[in-house]
Amino acid sequence: MNANMDRIKQKSLGKAALSRYLFAALLLGLWALPSVSCIAQGRSRKKAPPISIEGLRQRTYESNLAFEQEMEGAAPYRADLMSYTSDGLKVYTLVNTPTTKAPKKGFPVLIFGHGYHPNPPKYGINPDPKENRRPGDYYQGLQEAYAEKGFLVLTPDYRGHSNSEGYEYTQTGYLASNYYAIDVLNLIAALKTLKNADLKNVYYVGHSLGGDVGLKMLLATDKIRAASLWAPVVADSWEQALFYGTFYDEKSDLVDTTRMQLYAGHIDKNIRKLGYPYTAEEGDPINYMSDISIPLIIHHAKEDDVVPFTWSVALVAKLYKFKKLFELYSYNGKDHLLQNEMRAKAVERDVDFFKRSEK
């Protein structure tokens, strides 16, 4: 579904439990039972709903990057804040550029898709303004690790996050990741204006919600050569409603049709606000894995209780069914975002995977 936790400090709950709690709180406002429709019907429409997978494919993406200011970087890379437009909104992105001499064809490009933040305007915001930097303390050091490996790394806000425009879209529950995918697709279109970028070798790394965003984006573009998904949110809408609903529900240990309607009850409200026909199935990328055209590498801790490891297992089962190229790496423990040695190993595996996909 759409969600994943940036670091939140609260003494009464552990990080993983708090993340899941907040994610669940978001999701309970999202779901509704599906209207009468099917994926095949959605695919056959001449004009698909604009935020469906087919609708994302039918859109035209055009944007340019504009320099805003230099940020505090480190010796192996430079950090700049840039902006671009997406659906008429001004969206910001952090750009980490290696300070080594650029290869003749430019640096390979990596777009990093961050996870869910419970308070989007506070995304990347630190009490000390000098320390404000995307993507915030929770991800500190992750995108830099790829820059240090020679990648030109872009970390977009998504609309409504930090000081990027479009806060109202962050309040659309499950639908939000569809809009965030549009932001990434417009960023890809803007890469042509980025200096020293190798546009033939563009990669994507998405964590948690960023995995959901990434899969939707990948199904609508052929500009990405390979992608890495870290603890990705990839289950369909109804499984997510059930998983997060049962966690959040303190009043019942039973799930039946009535209880499921409660967990799924609000997505219909969000869909009605769209003003056009749309079903959750048309926006669930897990239903379109036959269309994936690039290799995927997935990393997931086996005891992750924010995004279940079994969701990644189900994803690769689909990829295998449709004869797609993939690698799934499991890690011990509960880390929703891999730390220390596991993080270093995952980055190393990504870099190797991307180099094997290089053109």
Beta-bridged to residue 205, according to DSSP, are 112, 228
- pLDDT value at position 2? 43
Percent of the chain scoring above 70 in pLDDT: 85
Tokens of 129: 């303004």
- pLDDT value at position 19? 53
Q: H/E/C letters for each residue in 210-237?
A: HHHHHHHHHCCCCCCCEEEEECCCCCCH
Runs of H (alpha helix) within the chain: 15-27, 39-44, 53-58, 142-148, 176-190, 209-218, 237-248, 257-264, 267-274, 309-321, 340-357
Inter-CA distances, 245 with 53, 89, 109, 283, 319, Å: 25, 33, 38, 20, 27
Q: How far apart are CA 346 and CA 141, in angstroms?
A: 13
pTM over 0.95: no
Q: How far apart are CA 99 and CA 74, in angstroms?
A: 9
Inter-CA distances, 59 with 86, 87, 97, 180, 279, Å: 12, 11, 30, 14, 18
Task: Return the top range by mean pLDDT from 72-76, 96-100, 248-252.
Answer: 96-100
Please write the tens of the pLDDT for every residue from 101-112.
999 999 999 999
Torsion sign, CA atoms 314, 317, 322, 328: positive
The Cβ of residue 356 has, within 10 Å, a number of other Cβ atoms equal to: 10
Q: Phi and psi at residue 192, in whole multiples of 5°?
A: -60, -20
State the pLDDT confidence band at 127, using cuts at 50, 70 and 90: low
- pLDDT value at position 307? 97
Q: How far apart are CA 187 and CA 165, in angstroms?
A: 15
All residues at 6 or more sequence positions from 244 whose CB lies less than 8 Å from its CB, including other chains: 1, 20, 23, 24, 27, 28, 263
Please write the tens of the pLDDT for every residue from 181-195.
999 999 999 999 999
**Contact (CB, 8 A) for 222 and 291:** no
Please choose, from the candidates 354, 303, 316, 340, the residue with its C-alpha nearest in 3D space to the C-alpha of residue 107.
Answer: 354
Pairing relation of β-strands 66-74 and 77-86? antiparallel
State the pLDDT confidence band at 1, using cuts at 50, 70 and 90: very low
**Contact (CB, 8 A) for 190 and 63:** yes
**Contact (CB, 8 A) for 95 and 80:** yes
**Contact (CB, 8 A) for 336 and 300:** no
Query: Options 3.30.470.10, 3.30.70.1170, 1.10.490.10, 3.40.50.1820; which CATH number does 15-357 get?
Result: 3.40.50.1820
Sheet order of strands, 226-230 included: 66-74, 77-86, 89-98, 152-156, 107-113, 197-207, 226-230, 296-301, 326-331
Domain-by-domain residue ranges, the chain? 15-357
Strand, helix or coil at 240? helix
| pLDDT reading at 289 higher than 50 | yes
- pLDDT value at position 237? 85
**Contact (CB, 8 A) for 317 and 326:** no
State the pLDDT confidence band at 159, using cuts at 50, 70 and 90: very high
Residue carrying the six token digits 């437009």: 85
The Cβ of residue 234 has, within 10 Å, a number of other Cβ atoms equal to: 25
- pLDDT value at position 266? 74
